[in-house]
Structure 1
Amino acid sequence: MTLGSTALVLILLVSQARSFLSPSGDDDGGVPEEWVLLHVVQGHIGAGNYSYLRLNHDGRIILHMQSLKGDADLYVSDKTLHPSFDTYKLQSVTCGHDVVVVPGDFARPVGIGIYGHPFHQESEFEMRVFYDQSVAPDPFDKGSYTPEDERKGQQVARTEDNFQEEESVFWTILIGLLKIILEILF
């Protein structure tokens, strides 16, 4: 009886370990329903090298990258199409599963750099690119203004104009005073 229960416990532990260590059987990997899979990118990268991708899709984008072999790291920027560990805005440099959330307000195109860590001769990766549909559209986006928003925008613009006008008067007076002081001294 104890041998049968020991075997049962052992089988249960092995099955739990297998489900913990292996990826889930479904393709989406347990991502939320609001996320739409846009692309799956697979590739190899040599030690110390970069591979670059360009993201043109608008909205909030989630990059899920899994290092299948070696260690690939992820660098993202909306300022350069060739981000690196020196020039990036977002990064994920874990061993294994890297995730970066690209905000919807990042300028497009977004540069994505995949770096092969030098500890491994070659790294193999798979990156899944998801679009997050659950994020509401930006109320400050062009075309979504209401008349009330427009009035608020005009009020802010008037306030900025007044500030610039006051600043201009200040500099005019200051420069006039400096001219008078210079004439007196010289």
Structure 2
Amino acid sequence: MLHPCGVLFVLLSWAQIGYSGVTATETRVIQVLEDDIGAENFTHYRLQRPGLLRLELVSLSGDVDIYCSTEVQHPDYNLYDMKSDSCGVDVITIPSAMQRPVYISLFGHPNHILSKFRLTILEIQEAFVEDYEYLVNKYERYYFEEMESEMTGKPKPEKPEKESFSDQSSISDEEEATLPLWWKLLLGILEFGIEVVL
């Protein structure tokens, strides 16, 4: 018969893999720490490494819980930013945007005189996300290339020799349909300004 903590361990492992969308090939082990801790005692660590990290705490015997903070140097069950206090495997994912150092405290559960644990720190390869500036430049380059090809690909419409001022300011429906949005906005503002002045 499977122990309830074993069932919880399987469910937590499955949920963590499904939630993060990260496969085992996309992670790299940075460090593995094995030690024991007495009941109601804390062991403290400080994590400096940047990037997206995952802390996996396995209670080999007894029960050990993990608490993390970026502000409190010795986080505990009252003061923490993130925690995992299940029986079995405890997993915490530290986002790359979280400031460093990250302070880690491991707590030995009072029901066990001595608990043995293994803490594994994994680095997760983040998918490349294009930043805002890159996307804007990419869009502008595409947009102006399209506009340039439209301008050079189509001949300029010839205007009649004599036009009144109101005829010059109006654009035909065909021309308006091919104009880019920013050009339409600029023309609308100019027309509004001319009407206000007159």
Superposition TM-score, scaled by structure 2 size: 0.54
Give the drift of 1:148. Answer: 5.5
Unaligned regions of 5+ residues in structure 2, if any?
Answer: 1-5, 11-21, 138-198
Seq. identity, %: 31
Q: Give the C-alpha shift of residue 139 in structure 1.
A: 3.5
Partner in structure 2 of residue 63 of structure 1: 55
What is the 5 A alignment of 1:29-108?
A: 32-108=24-100
User: Residues 96 and 147 (structure 1 numbering): CA distance in 2 closer, same or farther, change over 3 Å?
Assistant: closer
Amino acid at match of 2:81: K
Q: CA separation of 1:137/1:61 partners in 2, compared to 1, >3 Å: closer, same or farther?
A: farther
Q: Distance in 2 between matches of 1:109 and 1:115?
A: 19
Match of 2:195 in 1: none
Gaps of 5+ in 1: 1-19, 24-29, 150-186
Q: 1:147 Cα shift?
A: 11
Distance, in Å, in 2 between the alignment partners of 1:130 and 1:137 is 20
Residue-pair matches, total: 118
Q: Could you tell me which of 95, 116, 121 is aligned with 1:124?
A: 116
Contact 1:60 1:135 (C-alpha < 8 Å) held by counterparts? no
Query: CA-to-partner distance for each residue in 1:38-85, whole Å, 9 max, x for gaps?
Result: 000111111001001111111110001100010000101111221111
Match in the other structure for 2:14: none
RMSD after superposition: 2.6
- The CA deviation at 1:127 is 1.0
1:136 matched to which residue of 2? 128
Structure 1 pair 136/85, CA: closer, same or farther in 2 (3 Å)? farther
CA contact (8 A) 2:44 2:106 kept: yes
1:5-57 CA-to-partner distances (Å, cap 9, x unmatched) read xxxxxxxxxxxxxxx99x9xxxxxx9521111100011111100100111111
Q: Specify whether residues 135 and 48 from structure 1 end up closer, same or farther in structure 2 by C-alpha distance, changes over 3 A only.
A: farther
The residue type paired with residue 118 of structure 1 is: P
Q: How many angstroms apart in 1 are the aligned matches of 2:81 and 2:118? A: 21
Does the aligned pair in 1 maintain the 2:52–2:126 contact within 8 Å? no
Residues 67 and 34 of structure 1: CA distance in aligned 2, closer, same or farther (over 3 Å): same
Q: Which letter maps to 1:77?
A: S
* 8 A contact 2:37–2:108 mirrored in 1: yes
